[in-house]
Amino acid sequence: MFWKRKQPYVTYLPGPADATIGILQQVAKQKTPIPTLKIGLSSLEAPSARLAIALFQQEAYGQSQVEIEVADIQQPDPRVPHRAVDFVLWHYEGTNPTAAYPPPPPELADRIAAIASTPYDLARWAQQARRLGQEVGPDALAHLLGVMVHPPQRPTKIPVWSWLLFVQVAAAFTIAFIDRERWPHSLRRSALFSLACGPMDWSVGAALLALQQIARDDPSSREDIGQLHRELLQSLPRPGGIPYLDTLVWCVADSMPWLSDPLRSQIVRLVRSEAG
C-alpha cells in the first residue's frame, strides 16, 4: 500500500509554537489546575494563544483569568495592521486583546466545525470550504470572522489550541470562496488581505494558507499574492517569535514556480536575509 507522504500545510497543520501554548500543553499533560494564570513574556505573542488559554480555563473551571505581562513591544508594532485594511479581527487596550466580532450563529459555527473536525488535508478542506463559501456567500463574512475568535465546542480528542487553529483555517478557507468577483475587486481579497496584514496572530497564517489555495486555482491572483508575501517579509515584527513565519515561508516556496523573475529574486533575497 502506498501512503501519502506527510507534508506540512498539505497533509497536516503544524501546531502553534507560542511560549504560552508550551506552558498550556504542560499544564494539560500534568493536569495542573490553573484557574488563574499569570505569565511574564519578553515580547507580545498572538492573541489567539491567550484565547486558547482562556478557552481551556473556561472548559476546566467554568471561568477564565489570564494575566500576561509583556516586557517589550516588537517593531513594527504587532498590535496594529501594517497597512490600511477593511477588517480587523483583534483590538488592543495596552497589551490586552479583545475580539472585534461577536459570536457567529450556531448554524454557521457548526458548519465550520464540520470541516475543522476532519483530519487536515489542504485539498480536501479547500473542497469542503468551497461548497460552504459558495452556499453562504458574502453576507456571511462577519460571521466567518466571528467564528475565528469564538470557536464552537471542540471534539474532546482535539486539544483546545489545535482546535482554535483548525477553526481559523477552516473559516479562512471558506472566506476564499464567498464571492466570484474578479480578483482585484473581490470581497475575498479584501477580507483575506486584511487578516494577513492585521495584528500578529495565528489568523495571519490561516489567511496565508487560504490565499495560497486561491493562487493555486487562479493565475490572475498570483503576482498580487506574491507581492503580499514580499510585504510581510519586509515587515516582520522583531524581536521575538512570529506565529505565521513558517506558514509564510512555505507559501513563498510553493509560489516560486509562477512568480515573475523580479519578484522572485526580491523574495529570495528577503528569505535569505531572514535566515541569516
pLDDT reported for residue 152: 98
The contacts of residue 236 (CB under 8 Å, 6+ apart) are: 242, 245, 274
**pLDDT at residue 73 tops 90:** yes
- In which band, very low, low, confident or very high, does the pLDDT at 274 lie, cut at 50, 70 and 90? confident
> All 3 cell numbers of residue 74?
516588537
C-alpha distances in angstroms, 176 versus 31, 69, 139, 162, 170? 39, 36, 13, 21, 10
| pLDDT tens digits, one per residue of 138-157 | 999 999 999 999 999 999 99
pLDDT reported for residue 207: 99
pLDDT reported for residue 275: 64
Give 21 or 33, the one with higher predicted confidence.
21
pLDDT reported for residue 244: 97
**pLDDT at residue 2 tops 90:** no
pLDDT reported for residue 4: 56
CA distance 18 to 38: 15
CA distance 78 to 9: 24
Element (H, E) at 125: helix 122-136
At what angle are helices 106-116 and 141-149 packed, to 10 degrees? 60
What residues does each domain of the chain span?
Answer: 19-98
**pLDDT at residue 21 tops 50:** yes
Does the pTM surpass 0.85? The reply is: yes
CA distance 159 to 108: 21
Strands 90-93 and 66-72: unpaired
State mean pLDDT over 158-181: 98
pLDDT reported for residue 1: 36
CB 77 within 8 A of CB 105: no
